[in-house]
Amino acid sequence: MKAIAQSEFGDVDVLRLRDLPDPRINADQVLVEVRAAGVNPVDRLVRMGYAKDRLPHHFPLIPGWDVAGVVREVGPAVEGFQPGDEVFGYQRKDHVQHGTYAELIAATERGLAHKPSSLSFAEAGGLALTGLTALQALRAVRVSSGDTVLVHAAAGGVGHLAVQVARILGASRVIGTASRRNHEFLRGLGVEPVAYGDALVDNVAELVGGDGLVDVAFDCVGGAALNDSPALVRDPSRIVSIVDTNVLGLGGRYAYAKPVRADLDWLASHAGSGELKVVVQQTFPLAEAAEAHRLLEGRHVRGKIVLTV
């Protein structure tokens, strides 16, 4: 098969198109013909070696945890999938080597769900990791009916899904920080935009009115935004970060996406109905994965970047 692989850690130039052996599946795995693979910030961390102390890495290393495609073969113990099924999923494994930037992947059954027919492969390829992150993090801080939710970096991959998931979970108001060029984009998602920066606390307080506080703060950037969050929420236990473990010292929660089949089915249901929209800023053919990473590193992505296979 063709795959993007790296033989060392480094900048985008380590990502090269190679011929590698087709994967074999175990009894409980699914062989998926990849049609699309989402490009996520964690892929950059893997590429550069920043995650090697948390998960074992092996070369040649194929990056990527997001996938959408068509089932070619199923193991004898697999239930619920058949050859020809269109699927999407989150394929983080215990060792980092056999990722989704490839023509084929041996997928874990627990990290797959049926793709809604209304979603393109590119949209489905960008849904799983960011959608699971948003859903599981918001559930961790008990978002429910009537809440006012603040999302830091609301126009990004996780952020633009988190603002929508918050609404589906019952939030009455969703406020999102973003650069001014993304404010109209956020309004189109039903979000009240606010500029980030030194005046964030005052800007949010003015927008919220009353006591100037929100119920939940969802952090996608860390640093100053996270440090401002205790001054923005009524209860610090309802601060959640997906990037900065310092949130634990503030009394909040740290969230990390887990491949849960029921949660993938939840995402599929709401994306299939149109309630949850995956915005794909740009697609790249598999061979141009390095260019996709260059765009990702510019830190101005609106929604998702996806590789097509």
What domains can be seen in the chain, in order of their start residue?
A: 2-129+258-308 (3.90.180.10), 140-254 (3.40.50.720)
Contact criterion met (CB below 8 Å) for 17 and 2:
yes
Q: Residue 196 has what pLDDT?
A: 87
Instruction: Name the nearest CA neighbour of 201 among 231, 222, 179, 162.
Output: 231
Q: Residue 300 has what pLDDT?
A: 85
Structure tokens belonging to residue 100? 């989704």
User: What residues contact 202, with CB distance under 8 A and at least 6 apart?
Assistant: none
Q: What is the pTM of this model?
A: 0.97
| Residue segments in the chain with a per-residue pLDDT below the cut of 50 | none
In whole angstroms, what separates CA 115 from the centre of its chain? 16
